[in-house]
Amino acid sequence: MMNYEIHLYVPKTGELTPLMLEWLFQNGQSTDQPEVFWPVRRIRQKSLARLMLKLDPLLVPLPGPGEDVELHYPNPELGVVLYIHDRGAILFFPYMAYSIYSRIVLGISYVYIRYLFDTWGFWSYDPQLDVISFADDFQSIDDTSRLMDAIMPRLLTM
């Protein structure tokens, strides 16, 4: 089984663009970039974790590297993890082709994504489908599921 991931950022300009993502993937691991060059806001990991725990108090917080925080969905069989780092978050969940569990996992993920957009202005980026979104909605769950089922099997065979 392959882990799927959605990257979440708060763009300083209010809109996430492909050029910003390109800069992040080239420079995001750098510690010597001046703040003015960063296209996304700095995140207080523990503050964001507390906010997510208000939404879903059953999430299980675990320490990550440095100041990072991992929030695990309480049902480990669903495999949903929100990894919070200093510039955003990454939502991980397993890709489950043609499964009823995929709808449940996508539903949980979309609740988190929408909540983060509504409360902090997070935009999402799906690197597997190369899609940027200011907030996903429940109507797009079916579209995402169809795209995942169309594209992911090809990626898994590479």
Q: Is a pLDDT exceeding 60 seen at residue 83?
A: yes
Tell me the C-alpha distance between 117 and 149, whole Å: 26
What letters, b where the CB count within 10 A reaches 16 and e where it falls short, cover 58-69? ebebeeeeeebb
Residue identified by tokens 């939502």 is 91
Q: Is residue 89 a contact partner of residue 52, using CB atoms and an 8 Å limit? A: no
| Least confident segment among 14-18, 82-86, 96-100 | 96-100
Number of neighbours of residue 87 by Cβ within 10 angstroms? 17
Q: Is a pLDDT exceeding 60 seen at residue 139?
A: no
Q: What CATH class is the domain 2-152?
A: alpha beta
Q: Pairing state of beta strands 88-95 and 123-126?
A: unpaired
Number of neighbours of residue 110 by Cβ within 10 angstroms? 21
Q: Is a pLDDT exceeding 80 seen at residue 96?
A: no
- Report domain extents, the chain: 2-152
Q: What is the mean pLDDT of the chain?
A: 85
Q: Which amino acid is at 31?
A: T
Q: Is a pLDDT exceeding 80 seen at residue 97?
A: no
